[in-house]
Amino acid sequence: MSKEEFPGWHGTTIIGVRRGGEVVVAGDGQVSLGQTVIKGTARKVRRLSPGGQDVVCGFAGSTADAFTLLERLETKLEATPGQLARACVELAKDWRTDKYLSKLEAMLIVTDGDTLLVVTGAGDVLEPEHDIAAIGSGGNFALAAARGLMETDKDAESVAREAMKIASDICVYTNGNLTVEKISK
């Protein structure tokens, strides 16, 4: 089956919300192949602890590709302790220029509790506006919901959970089985 004929993996909504001295990254658990839900309880938000650092990552895209990128990020973090942005820039450079890595299809949201970043294979390392980052098939729905919820007194976790609930009600490739990681600075 050629790549054009292959139905493709869809799914995943990941959101990162920074508020009140903490960052929460939440992700749904649905993995779909075409119009079929393959798994509803995937864990797409992970905590990394390279060299004693505490970093939370959420990923959208191919799972194997994302795991490859998380391993590379961990190596970059070990080489640049306490410098999340620098490690992410180094990862993005490699991801864009390396023949093997450039074929990887995934996106990352990464935080150390202070900095919140979106990292892409196009070489982007972006600090989002409004203290919210969202990626994946339902990312725009979650982002819009979170932007509205930031007008309330809700904490970061409540904003993330409610935004994910709204996204899962709209996006057929997103479910309500959440993995939520919180990190403070």
From the number of C-beta atoms within 10 Å of its C-beta (0-12, 13-18, 19+), residue 86 rates as middle
From the number of C-beta atoms within 10 Å of its C-beta (0-12, 13-18, 19+), residue 9 rates as middle
For residues 3, 110, 84, 104, the Cα torsion angle rounded to the nearest 10 degrees is -10
Give me the amino acid identity at 127: E
Which pair of structure tokens corresponds to residue 37? 């839900």
Catalytic residue (one of 12, 13, 80, 111)? 12
- 111 is known as an active-site residue: no
In SS3 terms, 97-165 reads as HCCCHHHCCEEEEEECCCCEEEEECCCCEECCHHHEEEEECCHHHHHHHHHHHCCCCCCHHHHHHHHHH
Active site residues: 12
